[in-house]
Amino acid sequence: MKEKGVFVRLFSYMGKFKVTMTLSIILAAASAVVNLSAFISVYNVAKEIVRSLGDFSRLNQGRLIELGWQAVFLISLSFGLYGMAQLFSHITAYNTVAKLRIKLFKYIGALPLGYHSINPSGKQRKIIEKNTDNLETLIAHQIPDFVQSAVLPAAFLVFMFVYDWRLSLVCLIPIVIGFLILASMLKGESEGFVKQYQKSAEDISNAATEYVRGISVVKVFGQTANSFRRYKAAVKEYSDYMIKYALSMENTDSAYNTIINGIFFFLIPSGIILFNSGNNPERTILSFVFFAVLIPAVVTILSRIMKSSSNLMISKASLDVIDKILNEQPLSKTTHPKVPDDCTISLERVSFAYEADAERALNDVSLTIQQGTVTALVGESGGGKSTIASLIARFWDVQGGTIRIGGVDVRDMDYNEWMKQVSIVFQDTNLFKMSIIDNVAFYTPNASREDVLHALHLARCDDILEKLPNGADTVIGTKGIYLSGGEMQRITLARAILKDAPVVLLDEATAFADAENEHLIQKALDELLRGKTVLMIAHRLSTVIHADQICVLERGKIVERGTHTELLKSDGIYANMYEEYQNSISWRIGGKQYA
């Protein structure tokens, strides 16, 4: 039943290529039939000879040659049909996989940004590429092979009536036994095996990644591959498991191959007994020869599906992962979007947890950011600073309370419209493999070249443009083009300056750029933040002392709020943090402090 599930699901992804798939199935079936009939020609040769035995002068050589070529032709035709079936199944497979990939990346692209924060891009890319690849093999090879093997029993039922029902039945016995063995193998292989295999494969892959990533530590601390227990254990377990699994199939697999190659063992005694019984000996001889000739075709077809069975399970697992993604909840969309009057952001008793049973990242938080003011969030990591920014940008939607923009619930606003109002300047500064101009104009494709250059100028990128061979038209990521982190940051700031959105969500960089870059970045930030409604996740307290409002977060709650002066006066957590900060900036390596 499970297999059927896989095929039904696959078919639903094929779209109009169901037609080519059907064509492929028909051709595969036809190929199996033609293949069998080729052997009938060979049989006819044998028949002619047996019939004219004793007096070969009666033998019609022309007829024999004709039959011989007929057999060759039919075999060619069968291969041709099989090739066509494969061609159509490949056309289906390639197109289905492409469709599925497109569907997947579009679907993933529309998922809330929170989903992307949790799932690394590399992992997602692998699912889009590798998991669909597995389906490609299934569609391209396994479906036609399954069809062919399904034709066999049907053909034998026909032979039962046309030739000799007794010998036909005898030959059918091993075929049926073969199918039964195959079915039992599939059952044994299902769920349990695939799960264990995947776990074992995942373990070894994780251990290998960890080992390679940690190789500098391994080297520097004089570890060896052997002393690296987790890797060694995973490698051993994986290989033990593969061996154990392989050996567990040893007898069934051997039995299957013996039985499909062993039809002769059933045919020989039955043929002899029938002949010895003396009933219609000529017919018995001819039937015996018929099946003797036919058996190889049966073996060919049956041994093909052997490989397919384990692939089927892998494909199912791949399909499960794909379906799981396609069941992810996209961001809810409103049908009647409302437009806010201004950009005042207010959080009203907002609660949020990243996972259903996890501790709340935000707990009943209320906060108002007046239009045109700067609010800074400070506090220990994990306190909820970035969660607030993420919720305002709708990476996720709140679970309790509301976030309003100019009085309108963000969920009632058009997402794209809201995103036009917000610039998100976070620490990850990825640029596209495009020219700097196109990168900067990414949010504002209609901006004139002058506007873009002006934004670059405001973001203090002039030195970058000067050193690059093609100035602002230099394509990022081409060979020999190297930009430092600070330089990339300035280009992304130019992008935000050009976008000129009224709201800026800023995550201050923790990484330290060199003095010159730092200086330029600060100038660029001045340009960007001027007159905007700003929410800033601050790491260095010195940068926020002029903020209109500073909120101290601790374990998902705002525990203090006010201006720098107010907070210092109240002598609470902030005052403490500030003192600590003052200490940290006066730190001198090897200085007297800790000597």
Comparing CA positions, the residue from 557, 191, 509, 575 lying closest to residue 382 is 557
Window contacting other proteins (CB under 8 A); options: 161-169, 181-189, 420-428, 462-470: 420-428
How many residues of this chain interact with other proteins, rule: CB under 8 A?
Answer: 180
Phi, psi of 151 (to 5 degrees): -70, -30
Give CA separation, 535 vs 35, 310, 355, in Å.
73, 54, 25
Q: Using the rule CB under 8 A, is 158 a contact of other proteins?
A: no
Instruction: Considering only residues 59 through 78, tell me which ones interact with other proteins, judged by CB under 8 A.
Output: 59, 61, 64-65, 67-69, 71-72, 75-76
Give me the least distance between CB of 169 and other proteins, in Å please: 18
**Tokens matching residue 506:** 């800023």
Instruction: Considering only residues 229 through 258, tell me which ones interact with other proteins, judged by CB under 8 A.
Output: 230-232, 235-236, 238-240, 242-243, 246-247, 250-251, 253-255, 257-258
Q: Using the rule CB under 8 A, is 334 a contact of other proteins?
A: no
Binding-site member from 470, 548, 566, 569 for other proteins (CB under 8 A): 548
Q: Which residue has tokens 């035995």? A: 53
- Specify the DSSP class assigned to residue 356: T
> Closer to other proteins at the Cβ: 15 or 401?
15
Instruction: Considering only residues 300 through 319, tell me which ones interact with other proteins, judged by CB under 8 A.
Output: 300
Binding-site member from 437, 456, 513, 551 for other proteins (CB under 8 A): 513
Residue 553: other Cβ atoms inside 10 A: 26
Q: Are 562 and 376 in contact (CB under 8 A)?
A: no
Q: Which residue has tokens 């692209």? A: 109
Instruction: Considering only residues 343 through 372, tell me which ones interact with other proteins, judged by CB under 8 A.
Output: none
Give me the least distance between CB of 4 and other proteins, in Å please: 27
**Tokens matching residue 189:** 């292989």
Give me the least distance between CB of 398 and other proteins, in Å please: 19
Instruction: Considering only residues 163 through 192, tell me which ones interact with other proteins, judged by CB under 8 A.
Output: none
> Closer to other proteins at the Cβ: 17 or 156?
17
> Closer to other proteins at the Cβ: 62 or 327?
62
Binding-site member from 12, 54, 279, 469 for other proteins (CB under 8 A): 54
> Closer to other proteins at the Cβ: 50 or 180?
50
Please name the helix (run of DSSP H) or strand (run of DSSP E) that holds residue 134, with its range, or none. Answer: helix 132-137
Instruction: Considering only residues 373 through 412, tell me which ones interact with other proteins, judged by CB under 8 A.
Output: 374, 376, 379-382, 393
- Specify the DSSP class assigned to residue 55: -
Kindly state the greatest CA–CA separation across the chain.
Answer: 124
Window contacting other proteins (CB under 8 A); options: 8-16, 183-191, 263-271, 312-320: 263-271
Letters for 199-228 (x = contact with other proteins by CB under 8 A, - = none) are: -----xxx-xxxxxxxxxxxxxxxxxxxxx
Q: Using the rule CB under 8 A, is 193 a contact of other proteins?
A: no
Listed in order, strand segments (DSSP E) in 288-432 are 345-352, 362-369, 374-378, 400-405, 408-409, 422-425
Give me the least distance between CB of 584 and other proteins, in Å please: 4
Residue type, 180: L
Give me the least distance between CB of 1 and other proteins, in Å please: 29
Comparing CA positions, the residue from 369, 400, 318 lying closest to residue 536 is 369
Q: Which residue has tokens 């029993």? A: 153
Q: Using the rule CB under 8 A, is 484 a contact of other proteins?
A: yes
Comparing CA positions, the residue from 309, 1, 27 lying closest to residue 144 is 27
Q: Using the rule CB under 8 A, is 9 a contact of other proteins?
A: no
Convert 102-117 to b/e letters by CB count within 10 Å (16 or more is b): ebbeeebeebbebbee
Window contacting other proteins (CB under 8 A); options: 147-155, 181-189, 429-437, 460-468: 429-437
Q: Which residues pair with 557 in a beta bridge?
A: 554
Q: Using the rule CB under 8 A, is 101 a contact of other proteins?
A: yes
Q: Using the rule CB under 8 A, is 469 a contact of other proteins?
A: no
The order of strands in the sheet holding 374-378 is 422-425, 503-507, 533-537, 374-378, 549-554, 557-562
> Closer to other proteins at the Cβ: 352 or 395?
395
Q: Are 443 and 499 in contact (CB under 8 A)?
A: yes
> Closer to other proteins at the Cβ: 58 or 195?
58
Binding-site member from 170, 181, 289, 298 for other proteins (CB under 8 A): 289
Q: Using the rule CB under 8 A, is 540 a contact of other proteins?
A: yes
Burial class (CB in 10 A: 0-12, 13-18, 19+), 434: middle
